């Protein structure tokens, strides 16, 4: 596993109606991999993500 994620723009996280605690933990995990908090976008549906953008589930499962 890499120590950081190289990205440009935004990183989209599909929340699938998870609790705020789980979403907060996902954000923290992404920050551990170098993603800036302001670049994390939480989405309710896996639709409308700009083509070529990073969609967090494509990278890895976020184990809590």
The tens digit of pLDDT for each residue in 22-36 reads 889 889 988 998 999
Report domain extents, the chain. Answer: 11-59
Question: CB neighbours (10 Å) of residue 11?
Answer: 19
HEC states along 22-50?
HHHHHHHHHHHCCCCHHHEEEECCCCCCC
Taking the model in full, what pTM does it have? 0.72
pLDDT at 5: 82
């Amino acid at each position: 596993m890499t120590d950081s994620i190289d990205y440009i723009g935004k990183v989209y996280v599909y929340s699938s109606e998870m609790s705020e605690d789980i979403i907060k933990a996902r954000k923290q995990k992404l920050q551990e991999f170098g993603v800036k908090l302001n670049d994390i976008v939480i989405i309710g549906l896996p639709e409308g993500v700009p083509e070529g953008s990073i969609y967090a589930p494509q990278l890895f499962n976020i184990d809590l």
